Homo-oligomer: A and B are copies of this chain.
Amino acid sequence: MSSPRGRGRPRGGTDSRARILAAATEEFGEHGYDRATIRAIAARAGVDPALVHHYFGAKADLFAESIGVPLRPDLDVPRILEGPREEVGERIVRYVLGRLEQPDVRRRTVTVLRAALGAGPMAQPLIGFLSRELIAKVAGATGAEDGPLRANLVASQVVGMVIARYVVRLEPLASASVDEVAALIGPTLQRYLYG
């Protein structure tokens, strides 16, 4: 799998890369995800916009790097939404749990989730990122006029599941198997999407 960062590194690359990441964090924090631009981030870092694309690819990649979490709903969600429609609810639960059962992903996701729910500078950009890259795609997939509301409901149950199982660690939900949780929560997402 070829990544934008795999294409070789110019002299002084580590410095530029770190400067771009710092500039991106500032830019996302000040202007939110939607209004931040690669051009403004490049200007802030004192580099050419082409170098930002070279290191990080698209804005979604740069955002994921800047929060240090491998969240790429823009890549993963279309794959989940393909395949048999009657199993989409369960596939979403299995995807989320599949990622979060990995300890390092879980640790970083919980940190980001806490930041998103707090009042820190990255809260609004994170919500913007998820709205644009995740919720809008789910809304489109429903093919329904009230797709955005349906996607909000899916998000509400997914966030609640993650908090109950991984942040608050409610028992017995925290110790239930992925299969059990998928069988219990999958139908809820199914109804929100297509019910």
Chain A, range 129-166, C-beta contacts under 8 Å to B: 131, 135, 148-149, 152-153, 155-161, 163-165
From B155, B161, B168, B185, A127 is in contact (CB under 8 Å) with B168
Over the window 86-124 of chain A, the binary record of Cβ atoms lying under 8 Å from chain B Cβ atoms (1 yes, 0 no) is: 000000000000000000000000000110111100000
A118–B168 Cα distance when bound, in Å, is 10
**A167 beta carbon closer than 8 Å to chain B:** yes
Tell me whether A156 and B148 are in contact (CB under 8 A). Answer: no
From B148, B155, B170, A164 is in contact (CB under 8 Å) with B155
Question: What count of chain A residues pass the 8 Å CB interface test?
Answer: 36
Q: Which residue of B lies closest to A131 (CB)?
A: B170
A158–B93 Cα distance when bound, in Å, is 17
A149–B184 Cα distance when bound, in Å, is 10
Shortest A24–chain B CB gap in Å is 22
Tell me whether A164 and B156 are in contact (CB under 8 A). Answer: yes
Other than A116-B168, A148-B171, A153-B185, give 11 A-B pairs with Cβ distance below 8 A: A114-B118, A117-B168, A149-B172, A149-B173, A152-B171, A153-B173, A155-B170, A156-B161, A159-B164, A160-B160, A163-B163
Shortest A116–chain B CB gap in Å is 7
Shortest A155–chain B CB gap in Å is 6
Tell me whether B159 and A163 are in contact (CB under 8 A). Answer: yes
A117–B116 Cα distance when bound, in Å, is 11
